[in-house]
Amino acid sequence: MLNWHVLDQSAKRVTNTSSEPFREELRDQFVMITQMHVKGLMFDPYNNAYIVVLRDEEHSDMLPIWVGKSEAGAISMSLENVTPPRPMTHDFMKSFLDAYNAKVISVVITDLSEHTYFAKIHLMYEDSEYTVDARPSDAIALALRSNAPVFANNSVITKQSSEELEQWLENLKPEDFGKLDS
Amino acid sequence: MSAIELPKEQHLIEYRVDRILEEANTDTRIVVLARLDGVLDTFPIWVGAAEGNAIKLALDTMITPRPMSHDLVKSFAEHLNITIQRVVIADVKSSTYYAIVHVANKGVERTIDARPSDAISLALRAPCPIYITQDVLNRRSTTNLDAWLSKLESKDIGTPEVHET
**Considering the domain boundaries, does residue B118 fall inside one?**
yes
Closest-CA residue to A93 (of B108, B30, B84): B84
pLDDT number for residue A29: 55
pLDDT digits (tens, 9 = 90+) for B91-111: 999 889 999 999 999 999 999
**Shortest CB distance from B73 goes to which of A93, A100, A118?**
A93
Q: What is the CA radius of gyration of chain B?
A: 16
Q: Which class for B7: exposed (0-12), middle (13-18), buried (19 or more C-beta within 10 A)?
A: exposed
Q: Is B1 inside any structural domain?
A: no
What length is written for chain A? 182
| B12 within a domain of the structure (yes/no) | yes
Distance CA B132, CA B44 (A): 12
Q: Measured between CB atoms, does A43 come within 8 Å of chain B?
A: no
Amino acid at A79: L
pLDDT at A44 over 70: yes
| Residue B162 lies inside a defined structural domain of this protein | no
Q: In angstroms, what separates the C-alpha of A58 from chain B's closest C-alpha?
A: 31
Tell me if A95 is assigned to some domain.
Answer: yes
Look at residue B156 and tell me if it is in a domain: no
- Of A53, A33, A54, whose CA–CA distance to A43 is shortest? A53
Question: How remote is the C-alpha of B88 from its chain's centroid?
Answer: 8
Summarised one tens digit per residue, pLDDT across range A88-115 is 999 999 999 999 999 999 999 998 887 7
Q: Containing H/E element for B123? A: helix B116-125
CATH of the domain at A49: 3.10.690.10
Q: What CATH code is carried by the domain that includes residue B118?
A: 3.10.690.10
Whether B127 is in a domain gets the answer: yes
Residue B112 with chain A: CB contacts under 8 Å: 92, 95-96, 99
| CB < 8 Å from A in window 20-49 of B | 48-49
pLDDT at residue A147 tops 50 = yes
The boundaries of the domain holding residue B33 are 8-150
- Asked if the Cβ–Cβ distance from A135 to B113 is below 8 Å, we say no
Question: pLDDT class for A62, splitting at 50, 70, 90?
Answer: confident
The overall average pLDDT reported for chain A is: 79
pLDDT digits (tens, 9 = 90+) for B50-67: 999 999 999 998 888 889
In 3D space, the residue among B52, B63, B107, B53 whose CA is nearest the CA of residue B81 turns out to be B107
Any chain A CB within 8 A of the CB of B113? yes
Split into its structural domains, chain A has a count of: 1
Residue A125 pLDDT more than 80?
A: yes
Q: CB A86 to CB B69 under 8 A? A: no
Q: How many domains does chain B have?
A: 1
- The residue segments making up the domain with residue A164 are 4-172
Please write the tens of the pLDDT for every residue from A164-181.
Answer: 555 666 666 555 554 443
B161 located within any domain: no
Chain centroid, CA B85 distance in Å: 15
Nearest alpha carbon to residue B43 among B113, B132, B118: B132
